[in-house]
Amino acid sequence: MPSAQTAARVLGVTVLTLFATAPRASAATGWSLAPAGDGRPSFYAEGAPGAVLQDTVSVTNPGGHPVTVRLTSIGIGTGVPVTFAEPAVRVPARTRADVPFTVTVPTGAAPGDRSGTLVAKDADGRTATVRVRLRVGGPALSALTVEHVAVHGDRITYELVNRGTTVLVPKLAVHAEGVFGRDLLDRAPRPLPVRLAPGSRTALSEPWPGHPALDAVDVRLTATAAGGAQDTASTRARFVPWGAVAGTAGALTAGAAVTVVRLRRRRAGHAAEPLSTKAELTGAVR
């Protein structure tokens, strides 16, 4: 595809000749949409971040009446604008309209492939589409981080973030160690059912149905992916059987209450007794 300056010149020239008459079609009745030129089934564009790529789409109307179509694009990628020389085109009968368009690759776009569709729609709601594949050039970098690790009962929650420029299919290893160094959980690396696009973040969790009832645990998650991407994050969790603790505390509280009541009753009993006038045999010697 030409450079941005060439694309601008081609756009200006092509708009002037937009309604050039094509060879007369015979039996065809409906209008169609296709890449202009050499019979390509779809569009392919490749460029570095910041590039403006140009191509041309053809709307062919072999029928006996003019047709007006509106051109749009969908799904090529976030922040990848597609600009048509004319977003709405009136195509006379037995005519082909060649409509130039540009695809602007964002300056900060990550390398990799993106795909989408050019869509044409007429006043009656009929649509036609052409696929577009965009490849963004640049160095490939694999990097990811494990963040926000936490233990919630029988689950370990965490987030994975793709910090690189390639799509990642990560693997995760889980290890948990008790207060006396005993291994409580040791899961070997296994693939996760996710595909992380560059710059994306996803929240996940690991089940832990057999966690200890009473322990202080160090939990460590290690994520890896192709290209050397790796990161480890840890957290500490305390497991306390609060039901049993509450029951014991309740029993102790109740026992203390009984003791207090008994002491109070004893004191009340002593207060009710008359003072004795008899000498107390203490064993003391005068």
Buried b (16+ CB within 10 A) or exposed e, 149-185: bebeeeebebebbbbbbbbbebbbebbbbbeeeeebb
4-136 shares its CATH topology with 144-239: yes
- Residue 272: phi, psi to the nearest 5? -85, -20
Domain 4-136: CATH class, spelled out? mainly beta
Is residue 25 classed as helix, strand or coil in its secondary structure? Answer: coil
Task: Among 199-208, 237-246, 251-260, name the one with the lowest average pLDDT.
Answer: 251-260
How far is residue 76's CA from residue 175's CA, in Å, rounded to a whole number? 40
Put simply, whether the predicted model's pTM sits higher than 0.75 gets the answer no
CATH entry 3.30.1490.100 includes domain 144-239: no
Given a contact cutoff of 8 angstroms between Cβ atoms, the answer to whether 191 and 171 are in contact is yes
Cα 77-79-80 angle, rounded to 5 deg: 60
Residue boundaries of the structural domains of the chain: 4-136, 144-239
Q: What is the pLDDT of residues 144-173, one digit of tens each?
A: 999 999 999 899 999 999 998 888 999 999
- Residue 166: phi, psi to the nearest 5? -120, 155
Write down the pLDDT at residue 76: 85
Write down the pLDDT at residue 160: 97
Confidence of residue 111 (pLDDT cuts 50, 70, 90): confident
Q: 115, exposed or middle or buried, with CB in 10 Å at 0-12, 13-18, 19+?
A: middle
